[in-house]
Structure 1
Amino acid sequence: MSHNNNNQPLANEDTPVAPTLKEAFWYWLKLGFISFGGPAGQISIMHHDLVEKKRWISEKRFLHALNYCMVLPGPEAQQLATYIGWLMHRTWGGLIAGCLFVLPSLFILIALTYVYLRFGSQPLVAGVMYGIKPAVVAIVLFAAYRIGSRALKNKWLWLISLAAFVAIALFRLPFPLIVLFAALIGYIGGKYSPATFIAGRGHQASEKSYGKAVIDDNTPTPAHAKFNFQHLLKVFVVGIALWILAMILLMLVYGWQATLTQMGWFFTKAALLTFGGAYAVLPYVYQGAVDHYHWLTATQMIDGLALGETTPGPLIMVVAFVGFVGGWTQHVFGVDSLLLSGVVAASVVTFFTFLPSFLFIFLGAPLIESTQNNLKFTAPLTAITAAVVGVILSLALFFAVHVFMPNQSVMHIDWIALALAIVGFMALFKFKVSIIKLILAYSLIGLMLSFI
């Protein structure tokens, strides 16, 4: 059989040739630059490429991996890429797939953040940012609607969502506490009223077959993917050791209270709390980075989310923006080395945010491969997801206040920004406009308004 160049769809009766690590490397690199559209968009790109076109993995095995990634904290699309890379080419395959999903986004964000901090006060850049902010309010509001329409299936889940909104918006309760309470309610509720806490069915396999795949429905689990307790222990020790070494290094060089050390500690906690995607953890990042550490201002946080939406890769990469701005404003390496301060801080934050993601895959995937049946969402997770909707709604409200009332006064409402946000929400909701198109259109509107 002739070797397939991995770009052309294969005839259904052919068995595709297993890709080499080098071929996989080029695919994962390309994916890192084109993975726009949030987790849903990124997962659909991977499904189209890996299941339908290249047939590296079957639909059933793809969805089996995805269902596992969905119950983990962390960016599910990046974890799915890591999982598939690991399944095909062992640990190196997983590391390459997971890192290349993130690195292009990191480099692009570093460049954009530098331009933003260096030239943000220039009328043209300020105009673009003015246009994008109402779009961000619309996007976050739409995210709350989208997750809510899937998650809030009955009045009890609505109540949990409302309670979470009140807890974070009015009482300023810490995000981890809200997650903990929601999980507890779900755990108890699941025992006494299981039907109330039955979650969405996850991703179910369709009946459609795309022909034989390299890793097919009935392909035996590769030797390296079989569950082995000793290997699991080794992976756990290596992962924890990497984290401890990085933290000790930062502490010895800079001290515990230093900006970089505190960033490492804070973003480790944030990484373990990203149930429900990046929007869910943003209020926690806001509480820490803006309110507690003062690494950046509320306005900069909104601008960071706007930049994060315009770059490929997982939206949680907005943490790199937070790190860069924090390193820059705190003068980590002195006032003469602001760029270096920003780059190093962004890199530190990215390392600590994504290390747990790799650990979860390398630890849990062999166990998941050994089960080969669909994971059921647990009752606590259903309750957490419901609480997350309320938390995201509070984030939308917070952004709205800062964008529509820049002086924090009801007497000074920015009616143009308000109108733009309403139109933006309708564009997403009714006309299914893609986020990237909305951001581009609004940046042009902002640019035109700056000339008026």
Structure 2
Amino acid sequence: MLRTGLLGYGGGPSTIPLIRHEAVERYQWLSGEEFGEVLAIANALPGPIATKLAAYLGYRQKRWSGACVAVLAHILPTCLAMVVFVSAISTFSGSRVVQGMIAAVVPVVAVMLATMAYEFGEKAVKGLGLAFGAACIVISYVLLELLRLHPAGVIVLFLAYGAVHSRIAALWRKNRAGKEKDTHWNG
């Protein structure tokens, strides 16, 4: 995880291929399919994805101590770099060049957030269907903007719904498979 923290440049999503290479190909801690499942779960949870992957992989290897070491190893290079860069920015904050650079970052972050929101919405519509995906977006808007529910509360509500929905769907598939097996043997 120290390697992914040092070499992973561009944020969590850009670090995922490096983490996958280390976990699947180099150390063979898990299969490519398992990594895909872990990545899907990590994407569903709030927080930085690369840190969640590091915590899971560390936990899988050495339980809680492994999780702590993996997270620290992954975030320590970034934390140290941030301290160095923030110190440099503080030193040169009066410079017009630095002020221009900081001002240029704001629209870039806005575009990145808009792109991410669009991609999440697109995945929701693709996975849930247009009507249900749109309904979830509207429900989220109502809960966040009109009812002023904290974003963590909305996330917990949708995670709870997802857990209940996946349980019901699994039971339904199991029941349906059992009925098909019975009709196959009886037919």
TM interval, shorter chain, is 0.5 to 0.7
From 88, 97, 102, the equivalent of 2:70 is: 97
2:111 maps to: 138
Distance in 2 (alpha carbons) for counterparts of 1:90 and 1:177? 29
Specify every segment of 5 or more residues in structure 1 that has no aligned partner in the other structure, as ranges: 1-27, 195-452
Distance in 1 (alpha carbons) for counterparts of 2:156 and 2:31? 36
SS at match of 1:120: coil
Question: Percent of pairs identical after alignment?
Answer: 24
1:127 aligns with 2:100: yes
1:239 maps to: none
Q: Does the C-alpha gap of structure 1 residues 79 and 148 become closer, same or farther in structure 2, counting only changes over 3 Å?
A: same
Q: Does the C-alpha gap of structure 1 residues 156 and 89 become closer, same or farther in structure 2, counting only changes over 3 Å?
A: closer
What is the TM-score normalised by the length of structure 2? 0.67
Q: Does the C-alpha gap of structure 1 residues 37 and 125 become closer, same or farther in structure 2, counting only changes over 3 Å?
A: closer
Q: Does the C-alpha gap of structure 1 residues 180 and 40 become closer, same or farther in structure 2, counting only changes over 3 Å?
A: closer
Distance in 1 (alpha carbons) for counterparts of 2:85 and 2:63? 34
2:133 maps to: 157
Q: Does the C-alpha gap of structure 1 residues 46 and 142 become closer, same or farther in structure 2, counting only changes over 3 Å?
A: same
Distance in 1 (alpha carbons) for counterparts of 2:119 and 2:68? 31
CA offset digits 1:138-190 (Å, max 9, x no partner): 11111111111111232232122134235534664432343355457x37x94
What amino acid maps onto 2:138 in structure 1?
A: L
Aligned 8 A contact 2:13 2:49 in 1: no
From 179, 182, 200, the equivalent of 2:155 is: 179
Q: Does the C-alpha gap of structure 1 residues 66 and 158 become closer, same or farther in structure 2, counting only changes over 3 Å?
A: same
Aligned 8 A contact 2:5 2:78 in 1: yes
2:144 maps to: 168
Q: Which moved more, 1:170-179 or 1:39-48?
A: 170-179
| Post-superposition offset of 1:112 | 2.7
Q: Does the C-alpha gap of structure 1 residues 47 and 182 become closer, same or farther in structure 2, counting only changes over 3 Å?
A: closer
2:179 maps to: none
SS at match of 1:36: coil
1:50 maps to: 23
1:353 maps to: none
Alignment of 1:39-438 (within 5 A): 39-152=12-125, 153-169=129-145, 172-179=148-155, 182=158, 186=161, 190=165
Q: Does the C-alpha gap of structure 1 residues 171 and 117 become closer, same or farther in structure 2, counting only changes over 3 Å?
A: farther
Query: Which has the larger helix fraction?
Result: 2
Q: Does the C-alpha gap of structure 1 residues 167 and 119 become closer, same or farther in structure 2, counting only changes over 3 Å?
A: farther
| Aligned length in residues | 165
Distance in 2 (alpha carbons) for counterparts of 1:95 and 1:174? 28
Aligned 8 A contact 2:121 2:133 in 1: no
Aligned 8 A contact 2:8 2:18 in 1: yes
Distance in 2 (alpha carbons) for counterparts of 1:126 and 1:82? 36
What is the TM-score normalised by the length of structure 1? 0.32
CA offset digits 1:80-136 (Å, max 9, x no partner): 223323333454433221111111112222333334445334211101112222111
